[in-house]
Structure 1
Amino acid sequence: MTIQELYKEGIFRLKQARIAEAELDAWYLLEYVTGISRTMYYLKQGETAEEQAAERYFDCISRRAQRIPLQHITGEQEFMGLPFIVNEHVLIPRQDTEILVEEALSHLSGNEQVLDMCTGSGCILISLEHYRKGIRAVGADISDEALQVAKRNAESLNADVTFLKSDLFEQVAERYDLIVSNPPYIRTKAIEELEEEVRLHDPMIALDGKEDGLYFYKKITEKSRKHLKQGGWLLFEIGYDQGEDVAKMMEKAGFTEVTVKKDLAGLDRVVSGMYNR
């Protein structure tokens, strides 16, 4: 079987399994298994594929056909131009979340104290530290498994960050110039309607925002006031239909300059506000 035939068979099997982006996923898995680039593929597509590589490729294709996320197979996802380790214990970093990071960066010069609440893989915090060297960065999460992934990412990316296990602010003692969070925000009943890759493979603890999806926004908004310095900023990633509710919640809690920012699709994605003690 040639490399081209290998790739085409991968596409066929994923289409049979009704994987939406069959061609793209088949390509990523080919690249992952063989290390071949697009340019090299066109030069070598007629060459015979190594038997071991073919077996490994079809094993990966089979796993993807079972709706296992591509990133759980490759163990990696790019975010903010950086490679992050991911597995079943953390949410896969998504492009929409880069809007949150970019907004947070606009409030940082490089000497602030920053807290990332519900840090997960650490992608938000590590990205902030990478692009604003000098910040004192702390990430908090209740999950031991997620924190292990975050620490591995910090080590692989040489990030000067600290992680702590905490049920929200339970173990947080200091005050910060900026608190950022992408908390669980899916309504409990809506989780059943999510695609299998998310519903069956993302950690439930990172998805479930309780009955109305706003549980963690309420908790974090309320508790963050004790942990923000004068003029400190709180920034949230939100679901597309939560902008108004979260903005009103922050204003009621005493935050000013509350703003809702949209993502590239024109949907509400980030809410930010400043707290004057």
Structure 2
Amino acid sequence: MTLAEALRTASQRLAAGNCPEPAKDARRLLAFAAGIAPDRLFMHLPDAMTTECTVRFEEAIQQRLAHRPVAQIVGERTFWGRQFRVTSDTLDPRPETEILIAQALQEPFSRVLDLGTGTGIILLTLMAETGAAGMAVDISEVALKVARANAQSMGLMPDLRVSDWFSNVDGTFDLIVSNPPYIAAEEMPALSPDVRLWEPHLALTPGGDGLEPYRIIARHAPRHLVAGGRLLVEIGTTQAAVVVALFQEAGLAGVAVHADFDGRDRVVSARRT
């Protein structure tokens, strides 16, 4: 069997298994199984499948049919043009989070804090793009191990700390960023199985109405921002009005909402006066 034949069969199986993007997923998993760069797979489609590749590909397809995210199967995710390690202990980075990165890079900063860092993608991307110094916190030590591995692979040295939000944070920052858990408890059963079954619930929902992290951030962020410092948070698509009100009540200025690629509310920004 050639790679092209294996790809066609796998795409059909994933489609029958209700995977949302069967052809795309099959291509990525075949490249992983064959040890080929994804952008070079097309050149190798006429090649014969080796025994090792066949076994690895079948294992990967079986995992995807169980709705395990592709990033967890291959162990990495591309974000802002870089590869980041991903495990079942961290949130799988979404393309929408690049909206937060784009907004952060609109103005210069020299010291940045990332709250609930997970894989570290936000902090490490901002450090790599600007040369800024960075601190990141997460309540999960296991998640911080993933962030440390990503930092090491990029040659970066952030200050990574176990912290329940601001409990272990000191000093002030030009920029504070966060993609906190924001899914309401009642919304969890409706999530896709890719998310609900495989991603850490601690990174998905804080329980209740999903807004408690924003209340904590609004309450504590101003004292950790320099004058004129900025705050950027990712939000659920229905949460903009409430988060804007929380930030305004906390005395933050210039509160604004930024849309994602599909025109949905995705990021709220604010500034300490």
TM-score of the superposed pair, with normalisation by structure 2: 0.96
Q: What is the CA-CA distance between 1:13 and the residue it aligns to?
A: 1.8
**Other-structure match for 1:220:** 217
1:230 aligns with 2:191: no
Q: What is the CA-CA distance between 1:20 and the residue it aligns to?
A: 1.6
**Other-structure match for 1:126:** 124
Contact 2:31/2:41 (<8 A) preserved? no
**Other-structure match for 2:92:** 92
Q: What is the CA-CA distance between 1:12 and the residue it aligns to?
A: 2.1
What is the distance in 2 between the residues matched to 1:105 and 1:88? Answer: 29
What is the distance in 2 between the residues matched to 1:42 and 1:263? Answer: 31
What is the distance in 1 between the residues matched to 2:203 and 2:272? Answer: 26
**Other-structure match for 2:183:** 186
Unaligned 5+ segments in structure 1 are none
1:155 aligns with 2:152: yes
Q: What is the CA-CA distance between 1:210 and the residue it aligns to?
A: 2.3
Q: What is the CA-CA distance between 1:160 and the residue it aligns to?
A: 3.0
Report the AA paired with residue 79 of structure 1. Answer: F
**Other-structure match for 2:271:** 274
Contact 1:129/1:160 (<8 A) preserved? no
What is the distance in 1 between the residues matched to 2:76 and 2:156? Answer: 17
1:23 aligns with 2:23: yes
TM-score of the superposed pair, with normalisation by structure 1: 0.95
Contact 1:117/1:140 (<8 A) preserved? yes
What is the distance in 2 between the residues matched to 1:8 and 1:213? Answer: 41
Q: What is the CA-CA distance between 1:86 and the residue it aligns to?
A: 0.3
Report the AA paired with residue 131 of structure 1. Answer: E
What is the distance in 1 between the residues matched to 2:163 and 2:5? Answer: 50
Q: Deviations over 1:136-177 (max 9, x none)?
A: 100011100100000000001112312011111111111111
Over the matched positions of the two proteins, sequence identity in percent amounts to: 36
Q: Deviations over 1:4-55 (max 9, x none)?
A: 2211121122122121211111110111111346786555434321111111
Q: Spell out the pairing of 1:45-194 with structure 2 (5 A cutoff).
A: 45-109=45-109, 112-133=110-131, 135-194=132-191
Relative distance call for 1:160 and 1:19 in structure 2 (3 A) is same
1:262 aligns with 2:259: yes
What is the distance in 2 between the residues matched to 1:257 and 1:41? Answer: 47
1:250 aligns with 2:238: no
Contact 2:114/2:178 (<8 A) preserved? yes
What is the CA RMSD across the aligned residues, in angstroms?
1.5
Task: State which drifts further: 44-53 or 247-256.
Answer: 44-53
Q: Deviations over 1:220-273 (max 9, x none)?
A: 110112211122111110111111110111001100111111111111111111
What is the distance in 1 between the residues matched to 2:117 and 2:84? Answer: 13
Relative distance call for 1:233 and 1:44 in structure 2 (3 A) is closer
Task: State which drifts further: 259-268 or 8-17.
Answer: 8-17
